[in-house]
């Protein structure tokens, strides 16, 4: 690509692409392709001038070489551009804003006075109709104030004031909508879904794990308990209970059997289904996320609800104050000054924008939040409950050793265990599969249908014999498998978690799982205490000995061992009855009831899909400091909302007072009111933490 260097300084270069016109798509390609260069810290591409500003820390020659080889048609460059970038949205509202300003200038300085008056009356009809419609519905809202102010100005033949008010309202509406849409767009683009793998079924009945983006229309895939349905399709066999909360908002699972349609993003809570793919990956992903965010806005925090209700309650006071001012002063100008200022716009704009911006800040830190009320719940929470495995310990535990009984081969037992465990992703299951992969053990499908028993284990049949893998409670106590008469079995090393494999009713092997603590766990719990959490509880299905050792190392206030999923949920219900706000964090299918019960359920991103679906918040698995970040951002959000309240009430109250005293004319009051609303809205879009 031929480019011209316009300006250059240390670590910064401005170039112009030598083309006549640059489309929005080309601007995006250039921006993302140049941003992908190692050492480039920031890129801005201006499509109107065909310019690009590049900030870099690498060698200048690298930038020049990239520019010389750059092509808009290169598939590697186009592949870097996401489904939505925000550039088209910004252009849409830039054009709307420019159009509003141009119409105002033409109306004020070009058209003759009679035409201006006719246009003002015509435009005023829209606002007056809105106000009348609102009154007919029995509501007193901001549209009534706007209609009254514009109508009175028109009746007084004060067309300049009416025109100014309508222009400011138009600009305010455009900027409000732009800010809101941009907040949703920014948040949606940071919530990357990532590429997942799916089990596909070949013509000869084999199951193969492949990337979801390699799946074609008509392919057959299998989804089992706890897994997310990655693509839209029709069920061709099997029965499953599917959680469709992400699509319909209804948390009660829906039964799906042969012939039923299932949707990407929903989760199999129980059972399994084989489906024929009808829509492949990528189609409408961004739209689905936007829909989820817009739905999440319905989950407003109590603070947002208070702001909305307060705004509506203030409208009658504004109308009453206007009437009272006119009765006392008989001055229409002073009375209109009250109508030009209302608290509703700023209150109804600033609070939702603050929440959306907070959700966007969370997303930048690897935290996905499904609604404002969950951040408020985190801010108010005084108790946090941790599941142990995959949360306080690493989400990728390791296989330390395997012991076998009855002269069975270790590798064969590991191969069999991996063959079963790979169907139900969980931290311990992943450890078994990873160990088999490390040893180069190929575990092709040679068993019958796999059945998952929540919080216990897995059951299947191999060569006519029933094979079980799971906890001691599941294998020995529930299934009554015969333990070996072996001293080694009676003295298993206590520093490991134990996974039992039974074949034909007899224990065949025990897999030792090393469950290393997260190095940051103790510091995270300390910081959570410092940020307002008074009680940290750990709950685990492990034995008392293991639970005690972990609890002592990380510094939790309480711990509970050998608990079942229903025990965790019951504990949270008891805390609610005691008046506590509770956060629950977990990563497995067995954590789902507790995640649903908590005021804010938090799932680890690498955990089971059903946990992520049911959870209100999902955090990155990189480290637990995301929890501290979430708590701090939630606290900062509530502080910002309080600041918005004080500023809006104080500033607009001052404008009303100055208008009643005759210091400010109505048009100036309207200008300052709209400017303050915009300023507070823009302030609410800024990052909560610098």
Element (H, E) at 600: strand 600-604
Chain CA centroid to CA 1, Å: 38
Q: What is the DSSP string of 390-446?
A: IIIB-SS-EEEEEEESSS--HHHHHHHHHHHHTTS--HHHHHHHHHHHHTT------
Question: 382 near 578, Cβ under 8 Å?
Answer: no
CA distances from 120 to 108, 161, 400 (A): 11, 10, 80
Instruction: Answer yes or no: are the C-beta atoms of 159 and 117 closer than 8 Å.
Output: yes
Q: Characterize the bridge pairing of strands 267-279 and 367-369.
A: unpaired
Range 46-58 burial, b when 16+ CB lie within 10 A, else e: ebeebbbbbebee
Please check whether residue 56 is in contact with residue 39, taking contact to mean a CB–CB distance below 8 angstroms: yes
Residue of 47, 51, 342, 387 with catalytic role: 387
Tell me if residue 631 falls in helix, strand or coil.
helix
For residue 98, how many other CB atoms are within 10 A of its CB?
Answer: 10
- Say how many Å lie between the first and final Cα of the chain, rounded: 38
387 flagged as catalytic: yes
Q: Token pair for residue 260?
A: 């039923």
Q: Which phi and psi (to 5°) does residue 636 adopt?
A: -65, -35
> Is residue 353 classed as helix, strand or coil in its secondary structure?
helix
- 8 Å CB contact between 490 and 508: no
Beta bridge partners of 132: none
Q: Give the 3-state DSSP-derived string for 478-544, with helices as H, strands as E and coil as C.
A: HCCCECCCCHHHHCCCCCCEEEEEEECCEEEEEEEEECCECCCHHHHHHHHHHCCCCEEEEECCCCH
249 token code pair: 């908002």
Least Cα distance to 513 among 646, 603, 421 occurs for 421
The sheet that has 40-46: what strands, in order across it?
Answer: 3-9, 12-17, 51-56, 40-46
As annotated, the active-site residues are 387
């Amino acid at each position: 690509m031929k480019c011209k260097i316009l300006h250059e300084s240390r670590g910064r270069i401005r170039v112009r692409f030598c083309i006549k016109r640059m489309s929005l798509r080309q601007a995006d390609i250039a921006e993302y392709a140049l941003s992908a260069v190692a050492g480039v810290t920031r890129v801005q591409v201006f499509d109107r001038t065909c310019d690009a500003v590049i900030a870099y820390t690498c060698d200048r020659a690298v930038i020049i070489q990239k520019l010389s080889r750059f092509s808009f048609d290169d598939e590697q460059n186009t592949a870097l551009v996401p489904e939505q970038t925000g550039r088209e949205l910004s252009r849409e509202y830039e054009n709307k804003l420019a159009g509003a300003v141009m119409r105002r200038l033409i109306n004020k300085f070009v058209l003759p006075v009679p035409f201006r008056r006719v246009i003002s009356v015509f435009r005023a009809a829209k606002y007056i109709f809105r106000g009348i419609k609102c009154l007919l519905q029995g509501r007193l809202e901001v549209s009534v104030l706007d209609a009254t102010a514009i109508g009175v100005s028109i009746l007084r033949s004060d067309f300049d004031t009416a025109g100014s008010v309508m222009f400011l309202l138009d600009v305010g509406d455009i900027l409000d909508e732009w800010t809101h849409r941009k907040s949703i767009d920014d948040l949606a683009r940071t919530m990357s879904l990532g590429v997942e793998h799916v089990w596909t079924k070949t013509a000869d009945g084999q199951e193969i794990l492949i990337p979801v983006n390699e799946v074609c229309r008509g392919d057959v895939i299998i989804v089992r308990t706890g897994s997310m349905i990655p693509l839209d399709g029709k069920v061709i066999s099997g029965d499953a209970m599917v959680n469709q909360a992400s699509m319909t908002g209804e948390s009660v699972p829906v039964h799906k059997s042969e012939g039923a349609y299932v949707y990407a993003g929903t989760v199999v809570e129980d059972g399994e289904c084989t489906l024929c793919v009808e829509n492949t990956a990528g189609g409408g992903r961004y739209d689905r996320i936007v829909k989820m965010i817009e739905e999440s806005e319905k989950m407003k925090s109590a603070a947002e609800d208070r702001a909305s209700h307060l705004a509506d309650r203030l409208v009658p006071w504004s109308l009453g104050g206007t009437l009272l001012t006119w009765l006392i002063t008989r001055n229409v100008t002073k009375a209109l000054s009250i109508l030009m200022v209302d608290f509703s716009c700023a209150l109804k704009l600033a609070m939702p924008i603050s929440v959306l911006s907070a959700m966007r800040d969370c997303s930048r830190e690897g935290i996905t939040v499904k609604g404002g009320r969950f951040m408020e719940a985190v801010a108010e929470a005084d108790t946090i409950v941790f599941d142990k495995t995959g949360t306080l310990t690493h989400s990728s535990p390791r296989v330390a050793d395997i012991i076998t009984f009855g002269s069975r081969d270790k590798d064969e037992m590991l191969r069999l265990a991996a063959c079963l465990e790979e169907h139900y992703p969980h931290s311990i299951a992943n450890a078994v599969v990873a160990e088999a992969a490390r040893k180069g053990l190929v575990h092709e499908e040679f068993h019958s249908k796999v059945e998952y028993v929540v919080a216990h284990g897995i059951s299947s049949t191999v060569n006519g014999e029933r094979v079980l893998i799971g906890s001691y409670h599941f294998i020995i106590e529930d299934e009554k498998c015969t333990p070996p008469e072996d001293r080694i079995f009676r003295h298993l090393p206590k520093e490991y978690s134990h996974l039992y494999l039974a074949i034909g009713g007899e224990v065949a092997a025990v897999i030792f799982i090393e469950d290393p603590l997260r190095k940051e766990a103790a510091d995270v719990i300390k910081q959570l205490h410092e940020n307002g959490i008074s009680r940290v509880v750990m709950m685990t299905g492990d034995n008392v000995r293991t639970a005690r050792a972990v609890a002592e190392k990380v510094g939790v206030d309480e711990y509970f061992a050998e608990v079942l999923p229903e025990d965790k949920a019951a504990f949270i219900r008891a805390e609610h009855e005691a008046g506590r706000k509770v956060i629950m964090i977990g990563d497995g299918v067995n954590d789902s009831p507790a995640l649903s019960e908590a005021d804010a359920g938090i799932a680890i991103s690498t955990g089971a899909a059903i946990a992520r679906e049911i959870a209100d918040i999902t955090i990155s698995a990189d480290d637990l400091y995301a929890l501290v970040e979430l708590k701090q951002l939630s606290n900062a959000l509530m502080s910002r909302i309080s600041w918005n309240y004080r500023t809006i009430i104080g500033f607009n109250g001052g404008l009303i007072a100055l208008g009643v005293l005759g210091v400010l004319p109505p048009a100036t009051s309207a200008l300052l009111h709209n400017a303050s609303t915009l300023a507070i809205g823009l302030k609410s879009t800024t990052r909560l933490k610098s």
